[in-house]
Structure 1
Amino acid sequence: MNNLITAKNSWDAASYQDKHSFVWQYGEDLLQLLNPQPGEFILDLGCGTGQLTEKIAQFGAEVRGTDNSATMIEKARKNYPHLNFDVADARNFQVDKPLDAVFSNAVLHWVKEPEAAIACIHQALKSGGRFVAEFGGKGNIQQILTALYNALENLGISNPQTLNPWYFPSIGEYVTILEAQGFDVIYAALFNRPTPLTEDKAGMANWIWMFADAFLVGLTSEEQTQVICEVENFLQGKLYHQGTWTADYRRIRIVANKV
């Protein structure tokens, strides 16, 4: 695997693994759609700390994990030293031999150039190879985003929407791109998946620091605290129940074959 792009990042791999394990735990049933077979060559694109990569390997497949975060890959290598992990960018990677499948969980909403990623995935697959993915879809974390935008506007920051690091497509939008790139889409679904966060009262703050820190860059520590407090207050009656925060996730699932 050629590591053509190593993106700078601020991922805290230990916190991701310890406090945000729901990311891969919810992805486990996606493996049923992947249906790995012994001897297949499969790429786990955006593998994080490697938990689902290991589960794919347990089916007898030859699997490699890639992530654009060097800290994530370092942690994955420590977790599963018997597997192959590389730092690589979803928009620009190459493989040693054509893949039977590309698997991706909770990653592609971070790629704001979907055409580049899909083209790269298509090129890496053998003819008839499959692409199985789940990520944030249209309407994902809409309440959290609204709260973040309001809090930042209260600080006098105009157009906070420009800080949004994510891409949340509709089914129609994403299927259109896939078909234009040479995929036959055989399954597509968009569904609500409210996701309880760990750490009780600290759950939303931890989530923001892990996944939404792009909205806090350039703020003073006092301003960061103010933003998080305002977000919590705004969402208190919506996403906080019986001592637990819930993220208003909405996910898109795709299964497509390379024509």
Structure 2
Amino acid sequence: MNRAIASNSAQWDAELYDNKHEFVSQLATDLVELLSPQPGERILDLGCGTGHLTDKIASSQAEVVGIDSAATMIEKAQRNYPNIRFEVADAANLVYTEQFDSVFSNAVLHWIKPPEAVILGVWNALKPGGKFVAEFGGKGNINSILTALNNAINSLDLSSDRELNNNYFPSIAEYGTLLENQGFKFTFASLFDRPTPLADAEAGMSNWLKMFRGQLLSTFAENVQAEIIAKVEEQLRPSLYKNGQWFADYRRIRIVAIKDLCI
């Protein structure tokens, strides 16, 4: 994902991300259209990952800065797009003050806790009247995968004190309240199901688990990891495997908010 900050940021494999999870940026084309970047605008891409959407925004002749907490992602982004400015930065501790016309974020904010910290940082980074456009996992996101993962671990009589879900998946009401408490004018919101095809056919779910639950899996021996993945696949095959293709049961929240001039 284009995620920005998580305690396991050092675990992100930029090559695996680019090679097997390119759908993250491909599915956000219309989010960039919602951003509607204009020539000369300064835009912050928060959680830029390997830089593909940053480059798409830059093609509008806007001046874009891409940030991510994972150095591996930033290194890959800089190799991919050497003419764009990329920085390693903590999205929960942004240091910008009224420097950007817009802040953009795709598939990132569900990795950041507490959410109030990133909202404050975005508020400070925006110029008065600036726009915040984001999409990330919403309430109910990957419920089927998490349930299957929990069942697989329990079925093997493994310790259950590990955290299966360290994400933040809010409802529209919950996230809208946080934005309004900061002073944002909440102008658009949508919460929708988006079953998402995973790359590599039969290996799709295994790749997803290794990428996005890799820290959890790494706490088990390799042979146990393989057992867990096999049991997850067995449970999910009737619902998330169709015509030789694995799907992730994504549910996304999409928002647009304005730094209100009246505040």
Partner residue of 2:53?
Answer: 52
TM score, norm. by length of structure 2: 0.93
Q: How many Å apart are 1:157 and its aligned residue?
A: 3.8
1:1-259 aligned at under 5 Å gives the runs: 8-95=9-96, 98-159=99-160, 162-259=163-260
* Mapped partners of 1:25, 1:13: distance in 2: 16
TM score, norm. by length of structure 1: 0.95
Structure 2: which amino acid aligns with 1:104?
S
Q: Return 5+ residue gaps in structure 1 as ranges.
A: none
Give the 3-state SS of the residue equivalent to 1:117 in structure 2.
helix
Paired positions, count: 255
* Mapped partners of 1:103, 1:212: distance in 2: 25
Structure 2: which amino acid aligns with 1:51?
H
Q: Is the 8 A contact 1:131 1:257 kept in 2?
A: yes
Structure 1: which amino acid aligns with 2:86?
F
1:211–1:159 distance in 2 versus 1, CA, 3 Å: same
Q: Return 5+ residue gaps in structure 2 as ranges.
A: 1-5
Q: Is the 8 A contact 1:43 1:65 kept in 2?
A: yes
Runs of 4+ in 1 over 3 A off after TM superposition: 5-8, 157-161
1:147–1:69 distance in 2 versus 1, CA, 3 Å: same
Q: How many Å apart are 1:161 and its aligned residue?
A: 6.9
Give the 3-state SS of the residue equivalent to 1:249 in structure 2.
strand
Q: Is the 8 A contact 1:144 1:247 kept in 2?
A: yes
Q: Is the 8 A contact 2:150 2:164 kept in 1?
A: no
- What is the aligned-residue RMSD (CA, Å)? 1.6
Q: How many Å apart are 1:227 and its aligned residue?
A: 0.5
1:199–1:6 distance in 2 versus 1, CA, 3 Å: closer
Partner residue of 2:3?
Answer: none
* Mapped partners of 2:144, 2:109: distance in 1: 20
Q: Is the 8 A contact 2:98 2:124 kept in 1?
A: no
